[in-house]
Structure 1
Amino acid sequence: MSDGVEDADFTVRRLLELKKVGPTVKEWTLECFRVCGINDCKGARWIRCRRFVEREIAKAETKLRNIRRRPSQTDELYYLNSYCGLAAHLGISLSLTPLPPPFLITLLIPAHSVSIPSKSTVSCETCQIKSRKIKNISRRLKRAQTNLRSHKLCLISQSKSANRLARSNKRLSKENHRLRDRVARLSERYTVVERNFRFLENANEVAQENLAEAHSGIVNLSDDRGVFSPDTVRTVMELSDYGVADERVGGVIESVCRLVGVQIDKVPSPSTVRNISLSSLTVAKMHVSERLGDAIDAGEYICLLSDETNKKGNKYQLFGAGLAKGDGGQDVMVFGLTQVADKTAKTAFDVLRERLDSLGGLGRGSEIDQFTDRFLAATTCTMSDRASTQLKFNAMIADYRASVLPKITAGWDKMTSEEQERTLEFHEFYCQLHTIANLTNVVLEILAEHERIVTGKEVPDLSPTVFAVVKEVARLFGDRSAGMHGCALEFKAWSKQNLSDCSFPSFLGHRFNVVFLLAARIFSQKQKLVQIIDECGGSKVELVKLAELLRLPLISEHLQILGMIDQLVTGPLWRVAENLKHVLETRSHASLLLSWVGHCKGDPISFFSRVSPVPSLQTIAAGTEEMLGKLLSVATSESSLEATVLLMEAMERYFKCLFVDFIDGGKYSGEVSEDTVERTQCALGHNRHIESAFGFVDRLHTHSPNMIVPRRLAKLMISKNHTTR
């Protein structure tokens, strides 16, 4: 007997019979392969069959238990003879052997015919009922088969549709990615256009307001609260910087507005101008703080400039910061004008720290408690005069800088000893303009000694007769001569009439080489001065005495020597010091100057020669060829040569002492490391900016003696640091 299944599939009944071969799934699977006639029982097919057998047997047992709870032999037979789906799962065609008795049963199954017993053979009513049921089941199976084929065709159609949709989805995904990129680009363009639109919208509003003001004919300098606009405040600060008096600022603004045909609602009152000028000190400090803070953050080096002075019985201390510029020059920021009780180095150092602390919290990104330390750590050199208090002050700066560098320098402990020494390197430079100023006393002392030798009279060390002549000419014929004398006006009118216009600067108000400049001009105009005195001033004793002194040969010799020093020494040194791109360039002109002085000491006649042995000084000699020609037009005497030898010996000692660091054997002679050159790039060759600031303060004392110190400091910083420009 058999189950009637051939070349189709396993039935549930046959699947359950596999459990009789052994207790394990492996044995069931091997029996399944044996019954199917398959020898290849390895690989993926083995795994798939094993999983299927284990799952279907468990499911069949559960199903049979559920059927037997509601006894129905027909349902049980139908279920036992249904396909389990192994062939479709493995993708094979089975050739099955019949089952041994007592498992024979004939059922109607798909794709095979089922033999139905005739009525003659069926004597039992139960069999007829079962036969009808089998027929019904067969019909239902056929319908199920038909539905299965329909569902299969539907699934195939849906699979093809899904494939088409997948391809469309892939294509649309690419298109979506492309569109997203385009949307991102358009979004960026939209952001830019929106920003430009808002800017243009604001500009349009401002233009509309300006147009409305233009149509109304009145420009409002203040808002509804009566507060002046920032542009008005800046204009007031600029006018104050230009020297316009507080009471005149409003009138100047009105005059300019009338010039351009504009009406304004109101102008600042004098008290408002004073308040704005006083508050401008904060603006000036913020400017200095931001400039220094940016330089420190950028790692730039700073040269500290300092000096002190007396003005109207008050002692003042002033500081400045030299910063290297890209073109090789230096930029100076003046700060810290403070009235002090004394000029000690300790007072100057305390004032410096106080000024730096006040600047620390005003700029960008610099903390108050670190700005001073960072500033002094970035300070690699100083510029000052040679006063003892300044020398002590420079030493205090160097010591304090050495104490803070390890604290604020990143990676200090990881630096080598050589790198630490280079970082701690500190340089002190001295104003070369003071060298020129102090040369005056050296020259006057030598001329006084020469006068004593020639005349045998007692002459004070620093007051030779030629010095009295220079001061007397400046007093009587200078730009600031008193009106009671009347000599200056007559001399100017006489000079213009004789086509020889020449002026004498006032002796007062000048600190440096005015003695040499005056001597050169007096020597060139000596004959004309004597002539005008004889013609116009015969009744004035002081003029007669001055004419007698001008006629003395010794005075002429000394005036000639002073004039030649102005043409060949002090004038060139002044311009060289002001135009140095780097302070170390002093080495070249210092060595040339000493070489020239030594040559003139051995050959004094070369001092009066037009061709200088120092070409660099000769090419930038001060004055015109006419003045130099007049100085050389008079023949030199033996007395002049003797004075020249004495003078060259004294100048040689003087210049060797002051330029000791720049000549052979000095600190900066020979080759200097690139690191030293970079660290001293911020140093100037002079301290003129501080001296100029003191001159500005002196002018404020003269013209505005009652001005308070904060406003004086504000005007100084705004003017010297070009804050409003």
Structure 2
Amino acid sequence: MENKVKRQHLLLSKQLESSKKCNKIFSTSLLNLKKNNFALNRQINATVEKIVNIEKENRILIENNSKLEKEISNLQQNCDYMEQLLNDDRSIELFDSSTNSFSAKTMECVMNLSNCNVAHHKIPDVIKSVLALADKEPDRVPKRATIDSIVSAKAVITQKHLSNVLPSKQNLTLYTDETRKFGKTYNTYIATDENQSPYFLGLREMYNKSAQTAFDTLLCILQDLSDSVTDLDNKVGDKIVSNIVNTMSDRASTEKAFNNILEEYRKKILPTVTDGWTDLSSEQQTSLTSMHSFFCGLHLLVACAEVSQKCLLEYEKTLKENIGLERDDEIKSEYLNTSECATVRLIRAASKCLSRGGDEKSGCFSDFQAYLSMSGRRVKFIRFHGNRFNVIFLLAEVLYYHRNDVV
């Protein structure tokens, strides 16, 4: 009996040991399963987030696609409408029958063509030709009388613009210049602001070229600007004069006198157009009333040229008396101007002979140009006639530059 109990006890011990081993194996497997389950949960969550993001992107793409489809539909409708206009209606409306006048764009077009120096009687043909490029035809084009009226309206528009802009511009510079054409005297008035933007005040005919007449003409122009404003008490002209602090002109005595008259008039009207004038000190008032006059240097060059020519003429006479040098005007005096010095005559003859177009009959510009081109140079001579006053000095420099080529 005792042996039987021992055998059973040994068997139970073996079974218990086997159960422990199995339990340990199952515990390890369970732990591994838990780890795998945790990893799978993380992958599932990441996949879910990706799916959510993809769904959001998909919704955005669907919305954008819907907008694009609408835009494509609208563009298609516009294209169909434009094709219908191009195919069905070749006429373009320039004349407004409700107001019995041409449209504002048509009048602007006429003014722009006039600014491009298109002759008034050619403007209708130009409008038709340009519209033909777009396969269009105008319903009506303005006639010559209408074009003249539209172009004349530019003056009114200009006056309106100047009367609205110039009174607020500070530190204006007034440019004046007088010229004669076909026995008549004309004067031009132009103003520029601090940014050098030009404002054309006007070009008027004068019965004489005196300084007072030029100033009265300026006042007439400024009065026209004042009249273009609906406010009767506007003083536009006086405000513009008060803003003029500089003058630019040539060195003629009439221009200097004009500047003095303008400065005196400006001193007179400044207290009436300047706010708080009485509150300013005498130094401030003096500073505001002062003006600066600038003069063109071309007339100075003319005077230098005339004086230089007289000096050279006397020098040539001195050479003749001292060393017996014979002047060319004594050789052929019937063909030459005896009051002109030989130096200036040489400069003019060289220019006439060697410049392009200086003398089409007897000049040798082509030969001289070919000669200089052999050494990679070019002709620097210009025509004597038709150039500015400083041409005598410029040509003297050119003749000295080409001295070895000419001699």
Who wins on radius of gyration, i.e. which is larger? 1
Return the alpha-carbon distance in structure 2 between the equivalents of residues 462 and 303 of structure 1.
Answer: 41
Within 5 Å, which residues of 2 pair with 1:495-514?
495=369, 499=373, 501-502=378-379, 504-514=381-391
- Give the drift of 1:312: 1.8
**Does the CA contact (< 8 Å) of 1:479 and 1:503 recur in 2?**
no
Return the alpha-carbon distance in structure 1 between the equivalents of residues 366 and 231 of structure 2.
Answer: 58
- Give the drift of 1:245: 1.9
State the partner residue of 1:422.
287
- Give the drift of 1:417: 1.8
Deviations 1:141-190 (A, max 9, x none): xxxxxxxxxxxxxxxxxxxxxxxxxxxxxxxxxxxxxxxxxxxxxxxxxx
Structure 1 consecutive aligned stretches of length 4 or more whose deviation exceeds 6 Å: 207-211, 457-462
- Give the drift of 1:493: 7.1
Return the alpha-carbon distance in structure 2 between the equivalents of residues 230 and 208 of structure 1.
Answer: 25
Within 5 Å, which residues of 2 pair with 1:135-174?
none
Work out whether 1:491 is the aligned partner of 2:365. yes
- Give the drift of 1:487: 3.7
Aligned in 2, Cα 1:383/1:472: closer, same or farther, shift over 3 Å?
same
Within 5 Å, which residues of 2 pair with 1:323-338?
323-325=193-195, 330-338=196-204
State the partner residue of 1:267.
141
**SS of equivalent to 2:107:** helix
**SS of equivalent to 2:197:** strand
Structure 1 residue identity aligned to 2:174: L
> 164, 167, 186: which is aligned to 1:316?
186
- Structure ranking higher on relative contact order (CA contacts 8 Å, 6+ apart): 1
State the partner residue of 2:303.
438
**Does the CA contact (< 8 Å) of 2:188 and 2:202 recur in 1?**
yes
Q: Which runs of 5 or more residues in structure 1 are unaligned?
A: 1-203, 531-550, 552-725
Structure 2 residue identity aligned to 1:268: P
> 224, 236, 242: which is aligned to 1:358?
224
State the partner residue of 2:150.
276
- Give the drift of 1:314: 1.0
> 409, 412, 416: which is aligned to 2:277?
412
State the partner residue of 1:249.
123
State the partner residue of 1:306.
176
**Does the CA contact (< 8 Å) of 1:303 and 1:381 recur in 2?**
yes
State the partner residue of 1:447.
312
**SS of equivalent to 2:251:** coil
Work out whether 1:403 is the aligned partner of 2:268. yes
Structure 2 residue identity aligned to 1:430: F
Return the alpha-carbon distance in structure 2 between the equivalents of residues 312 and 334 of structure 1.
Answer: 23
State the partner residue of 2:64.
none
Work out whether 1:220 is the aligned partner of 2:97. no
Return the alpha-carbon distance in structure 2 between the equivalents of residues 480 and 411 of structure 1.
Answer: 63
- Give the drift of 1:308: 1.1
Return the alpha-carbon distance in structure 2 between the equivalents of residues 461 and 383 of structure 1.
Answer: 37
Return the alpha-carbon distance in structure 2 between the equivalents of residues 479 and 229 of structure 1.
Answer: 50
State the partner residue of 2:103.
229
**Does the CA contact (< 8 Å) of 1:478 and 1:504 recur in 2?**
yes
- Give the drift of 1:474: 4.6
State the partner residue of 2:246.
381
Aligned in 2, Cα 1:406/1:367: closer, same or farther, shift over 3 Å?
same
Aligned in 2, Cα 1:479/1:245: closer, same or farther, shift over 3 Å?
farther
TM-score (norm 1): 0.39
Structure 1 window deviating more from structure 2 (263-272 vs 400-409): it is 263-272
- Give the drift of 1:492: 3.6
Structure 2 residue identity aligned to 1:380: V
Structure 2 residue identity aligned to 1:405: L
TM-score (norm 2): 0.66
Return the alpha-carbon distance in structure 1 between the equivalents of residues 221 and 82 of structure 2.
Answer: 44
Work out whether 1:516 is the aligned partner of 2:393. yes
- Give the drift of 1:357: 0.5
**Does the CA contact (< 8 Å) of 1:285 and 1:359 recur in 2?**
yes
Return the alpha-carbon distance in structure 2 between the equivalents of residues 279 and 210 of structure 1.
Answer: 38
State the partner residue of 1:12.
none
Aligned in 2, Cα 1:471/1:494: closer, same or farther, shift over 3 Å?
closer
- Give the drift of 1:451: 2.8
Aligned in 2, Cα 1:443/1:396: closer, same or farther, shift over 3 Å?
same
Deviations 1:455-507 (A, max 9, x none): 4468999722222233344556655656xx5345x624763586365364443
Work out whether 1:347 is the aligned partner of 2:347. no
Q: Which runs of 5 or more residues in structure 2 are unaligned?
A: 1-76, 330-336
Aligned in 2, Cα 1:366/1:444: closer, same or farther, shift over 3 Å?
farther
Return the alpha-carbon distance in structure 2 between the equivalents of residues 462 and 253 of structure 1.
Answer: 57
Return the alpha-carbon distance in structure 2 between the equivalents of residues 252 and 451 of structure 1.
Answer: 61
Structure 2 residue identity aligned to 1:448: L
Return the alpha-carbon distance in structure 2 between the equivalents of residues 274 and 493 of structure 1.
Answer: 51
- Give the drift of 1:425: 2.0
State the partner residue of 2:30.
none
**SS of equivalent to 2:152:** helix
The root-mean-square deviation of aligned C-alpha atoms, in Å, is: 3.5
Aligned in 2, Cα 1:469/1:230: closer, same or farther, shift over 3 Å?
farther
- Give the drift of 1:240: 1.8
Aligned sequence identity (%): 28
Return the alpha-carbon distance in structure 2 between the equivalents of residues 495 and 416 of structure 1.
Answer: 68
Return the alpha-carbon distance in structure 2 between the equivalents of residues 515 and 272 of structure 1.
Answer: 49
Structure 1 residue identity aligned to 2:173: C
**Does the CA contact (< 8 Å) of 1:437 and 1:511 recur in 2?**
no
Return the alpha-carbon distance in structure 2 between the equivalents of residues 356 and 282 of structure 1.
Answer: 13
Aligned in 2, Cα 1:257/1:498: closer, same or farther, shift over 3 Å?
farther
**Does the CA contact (< 8 Å) of 2:163 and 2:236 recur in 1?**
no
Deviations 1:109-160 (A, max 9, x none): xxxxxxxxxxxxxxxxxxxxxxxxxxxxxxxxxxxxxxxxxxxxxxxxxxxx
Structure 2 residue identity aligned to 1:467: V
**Does the CA contact (< 8 Å) of 2:107 and 2:150 recur in 1?**
yes
Return the alpha-carbon distance in structure 2 between the equivalents of residues 282 and 369 of structure 1.
Answer: 17
Return the alpha-carbon distance in structure 1 between the equivalents of residues 366 and 149 of structure 2.
Answer: 45
Structure 2 residue identity aligned to 1:486: K
Structure 1 residue identity aligned to 2:198: V
**Does the CA contact (< 8 Å) of 1:218 and 1:265 recur in 2?**
yes
Structure 2 residue identity aligned to 1:337: L
Return the alpha-carbon distance in structure 2 between the equivalents of residues 510 and 384 of structure 1.
Answer: 20
Return the alpha-carbon distance in structure 2 between the equivalents of residues 255 and 265 of structure 1.
Answer: 14
**Does the CA contact (< 8 Å) of 2:354 and 2:368 recur in 1?**
no
